Amino acid sequence: MSNPPKTVRKRYQNAALTSDEVRQIFRLNPANLYTKYKPEYAERDRFVLMLAFNMGCRIEEFVTIQRKKIDYQNCIITVEDRKKDSKWTWDIEKRFRDPHERRSDQGHYTKGKAWRAIRLPKDVMEEVKFYNETLPKNQKTLFTLSGKAVERIVQRYTTAIGNTKSFHAIRHTYATLAREAGIPVKFVAKQFGDRVGTVQTIYEELSDEQEDKYANTRLF
């Protein structure tokens, strides 16, 4: 894999958490992380983090998961793909200059929902089902938390292990740990709704140990 551009390397360098750091997060005691702790925070936070690390989706997709879009039989959660829900519509009468150039007076963006299926392990879906059954029947989304509230949860727990991260770092972590587990990058790209090259350039990261391992691997 070729090195990403310097601007990309600088922006996303060390964005992912290691597998050891993820395990540390789930060993934390939530009671020690809040000044005004409530017992229900523990189960909520654990479920939010567990699902986020197993989905690797964007935060705006995560907080808007619809309960009716959860397929327990096929282990799929369908999210609204916020990267692909805009479509450029040309104004034919004004498209007379350069047919390949998008100008503000030649068309406009129209919002339309695009959906992406994310596959999950069976044991994760069992936890989702259990959590879902505890929710009020008239609640349409899986979470009532805002994006900022979820960000605070992630930052609270990652700060506690000494490596403060945003929610988006979970996406980098998913891609990196998936590669370490031998999961093909094409599968990760499909889960993310991104191109293979985007996943390789932006999201995947190599640790020093991995670089040493690959450097000492004979190919023939």
Looking at residue 107, its pLDDT comes to: 47
Looking at residue 110, its pLDDT comes to: 47
- Assigned domain for 194 exists: yes
CATH number of the domain where residue 50 is located: 1.10.443.10
- For residue 111, what pLDDT band results from cuts at 50, 70 and 90? low
- Residues found in the chain: 220
Mean per-residue pLDDT of the chain: 81
pLDDT (tens digit per residue) in 50-89:
999 999 999 999 999 999 999 999 999 999 887 654 444 4
Mean pLDDT of 90-102: 45
How do strand 76-80 and strand 70-71 relate by DSSP bridges?
antiparallel
Looking at residue 213, its pLDDT comes to: 74
- Assigned domain for 110 exists: no
Higher pLDDT, 173 or 92: 173
pTM of the full structure: 0.77
Provide the domain limits for residue 26: 6-78+116-213
Percent of the chain scored above 70 by pLDDT? 74
In the predicted structure, residue 207 carries a pLDDT above the cut 60: yes
- Assigned domain for 13 exists: yes
Mean pLDDT of 164-188: 90
Looking at residue 14, its pLDDT comes to: 61
Higher pLDDT, 122 or 11: 122
Mean pLDDT of 139-154: 96
Q: Which range is least confidently modeled, 71-75, 88-92, 127-131, 161-165?
A: 88-92
- The answer for residues whose C-beta is within 8 angstroms of residue 142's C-beta and 6 or more apart is 65, 66, 67, 70, 128, 131, 132, 135
The winner for highest mean pLDDT among 99-103, 107-111, 184-188 is 184-188
pLDDT (tens digit per residue) in 13-45:
568 899 999 999 999 999 999 989 999 999 999
> Nearest-CA neighbor of 52 among 127, 114, 113?
127
In the predicted structure, residue 47 carries a pLDDT above the cut 80: yes
In the predicted structure, residue 5 carries a pLDDT above the cut 70: no
Higher pLDDT, 122 or 87: 122
- Assigned domain for 90 exists: no
Q: How many domains does the chain have?
A: 1
- Assigned domain for 104 exists: no
* Torsion of Cα atoms, 48 then 186 then 197 then 81, to 10°: -50
Give the CA distances from residue 10 to residues 5, 87, 89, 175, in Å, rounded to whole numbers and listed in that order. 9, 31, 35, 18
In the predicted structure, residue 103 carries a pLDDT above the cut 80: no
- Assigned domain for 146 exists: yes
